[in-house]
Amino acid sequence: MAEHPPEVALDPRIIRRFQWASTLNGLAFGLEISALPIYFQGLSLPPALYGLLVGLAWLVSLVVRFPIGTLALRFGNRPLMNAGAWLYAPLSWALLISGNVPLFFLIRLLNGVARSLMVLPLRSWFTELCPRPRLAHELGRLNAGFAIGQSLVGGFGGPLLLSALGPLGLLGILGALPLVIWWLLRPAPPDHPAASARAAAGTATPALLWVAAPCGLAANSALTANAAFFPQLVQELGWPTAVVGALLFIQGACAVWLAWHSGRIIGRWGEAAPVLVGHVLVIAAALVLCFAPLGPALPLVAALCGTASGTLPVLAMTLAARSLASRSQGISVHETYISLGLGAGPFLGGLAIQVLGTPRAALLAGGLFAIAGLVTTLWQRRTLQPAHAG
């Protein structure tokens, strides 16, 4: 069997452009999840329809992300990402049309497709270009940039921009972000599907997905469950609503710091230990929220979940990139269960709260995903890379 062609070094300037593009992608996502729910409240929809409108873009991601990975092998990641950027901009501006609820649903449905075209091909493109020995390190920094945009800037800035500039200013900025991303990546090396599939093939170890999937599910379901139910918990304590922002900032700051250093951690510890520790942190957060005094528990839960989300998604991405014969296909699978985790956090958390009668049950679903992750990691431990592996 012919060997894969040797990988070439990626220009640091191009790496920085991908990092900035990932940060802006995170910023767009952060503005969506923090400001659009406030904007949609003006439609006076029933709660079920309101929740569906907010979450529709995530739900459609479950359907489209794997086909996008398949299309990337045929047409390349660059044209798909360009299409997503140029679709996302007018769809964001179209939300200025007020009062037409069916049109809003159609826009959000198409927006989910455009967002998937922006996020998945960008990550696949970078994964294919990045030399294999630096993959974990650089993906950690890429994810750290996304977390900065989403959690540290977008989460705070969305409501502030909506209040200060109104819908016109907020949606104008939201629609402009993908065009900046498109401009940033214009100098990146061309993406030739057949050549990149040969040069950047994975190790074709599908069993790695049994480890990767719970990582993405546990971390992302915990993050979105906290974002959805911290307001109820803060209200239960009688604290000001602004405390919710502080808690999400703690969570985001921990995620950014761990993601930035995850490559070094994986190099020193190998893959198995960080995966196990990350899952233990999610389980600990669920138990603390259920049983510890609520006042001190909330910042601790935010820190535990943020630390886990700075480690587990990076590991999930690196494992998925090696799981199939093509990194693009592996990343498309990864993005599918990431979307499932984002949607499962609020839904399953709300279901647990309804059954048990307390918002303290919000993280139990994330804890169940983490227990599954412990089992699959121990089962597939011999397939994971040891410390200092390339």
pLDDT in the model for residue 47: 55
pLDDT in the model for residue 164: 85
pLDDT in the model for residue 378: 94
**Domain 14-199 class in CATH:** mainly alpha
Rounded to the nearest 5 percent, the helix, strand and coil shares of the chain are: 85, 0, 15
Amino acid at 173: I
Max intra-chain CA distance, the chain: 66
pLDDT in the model for residue 2: 38
Reading the chain (390 residues) residue by residue, the pLDDT tens digits are 334 444 456 788 888 999 999 999 999 988 887 777 667 767 777 655 665 676 677 677 777 877 887 787 778 889 999 999 999 999 999 988 877 788 888 888 898 889 888 888 888 788 778 776 777 778 778 878 888 888 778 877 777 788 789 889 999 999 999 999 999 999 988 766 545 555 555 566 888 899 999 999 999 889 878 877 887 788 889 888 777 778 878 888 898 888 878 778 887 888 899 999 999 999 999 999 999 999 999 999 999 999 998 889 888 888 887 887 776 677 777 777 887 887 778 778 888 887 888 889 989 989 999 999 999 999 998 888 877 654
Fold of 208-383: Growth Hormone; Chain: A; (1.20.1250)
H or E stretch covering 295:
helix 294-323
DSSP, collapsed to helix, strand or coil, labels residue 1 as coil
Amino acid at 269: W
* Six token digits for residue 85: 């950027």
Decide if 168 contacts 96 (C-beta within 8 A).
yes
Residue 11 DSSP class: P
Q: How many helices (H) and strands (E) does the chain have?
A: 13, 0
Decide if 107 contacts 94 (C-beta within 8 A).
yes
pLDDT in the model for residue 5: 42
Going from N- to C-terminal start, the domains of the chain cover: 14-199, 208-383
- Could you tell me which of 279, 275, 246 has the C-alpha nearest to residue 262? 275
At residue 97, what are phi and psi to the nearest 5 degrees?
A: -70, 115
